[in-house]
C-alpha cells in the first residue's frame, strides 16, 4: 500500500479536562499517514485521483480548532474517522501531540496514536462453507 505522510499540522485548540485548558487553549500538533493505492493517480497525474493533502490538512485544522473535547484520544479517533469518510483511502494513522499538556514534571511530548481502516469486503474465497 502506498502512503501520504503529513506531519506537524499545528493549530490552537481548547481540548482538555481542565477549565483553564478550554478557556486559554494551547497548540496541538497532528501527524497523519494516509494509506492508499497511487496507481490511478500515477496514471492520470490528476489530484482528483489521490487524497489531496492540502484538503486533508484543512480538515485536521478544523478538528483541532473545533468543538472542545476532553481527551486527545477522542480527537484522534474523530480525525481518523472523518478522513476515512471524506477521502478515498484504505487506512489512516493519526497521532495527536499535546506538547504543552498540564503535567507537573518535565516532559518532551504527550501523544496518542490511532489506526483506522476500512472493513475488508468478504470474497467468495473467504466465505465460510457449510
Task: Kindly list the structural domains of the chain, giving each domain's residue range(s) and its CATH number in brackets, ordered by start.
Answer: 2-117 (3.30.1130.10)
The overall average pLDDT reported for the chain is: 94
- Considering the candidates 98, 100, 109, 126, report the single residue annotated as catalytic: 98
Let me know: does 36 contact 4? Beta carbons within 8 Å: yes
Let me know: does 55 contact 5? Beta carbons within 8 Å: no
pLDDT tens digits along 11-40: 999 999 999 999 999 999 999 999 999 999
98 is catalytic: yes
pTM of the model: 0.91
- SS3 per-residue string spanning 98-119: CCCCCCCCCCCCCEEEEEEECC
Amino acid at each position: 500500500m502506498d502512503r501520504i505522510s503529513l506531519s506537524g499540522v499545528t493549530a490552537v485548540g481548547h481540548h482538555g479536562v481542565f477549565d483553564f485548558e478550554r478557556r486559554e487553549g494551547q497548540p496541538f500538533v497532528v501527524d497523519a499517514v494516509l494509506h492508499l493505492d497511487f496507481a490511478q493517480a500515477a496514471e492520470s497525474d490528476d489530484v482528483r485521483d489521490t487524497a489531496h493533502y492540502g484538503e486533508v490538512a484543512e480538515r485536521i485544522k478544523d478538528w483541532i480548532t473545533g468543538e472542545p473535547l476532553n481527551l486527545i484520544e477522542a480527537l484522534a479517533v474523530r480525525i481518523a474517522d472523518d478522513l476515512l469518510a471524506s477521502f478515498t483511502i484504505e487506512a489512516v494513522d493519526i497521532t495527536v501531540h499535546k506538547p504543552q499538556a498540564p503535567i507537573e514534571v518535565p516532559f518532551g511530548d504527550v501523544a496518542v496514536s490511532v489506526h483506522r481502516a476500512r472493513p475488508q469486503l468478504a470474497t467468495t474465497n473467504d466465505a465460510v462453507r457449510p
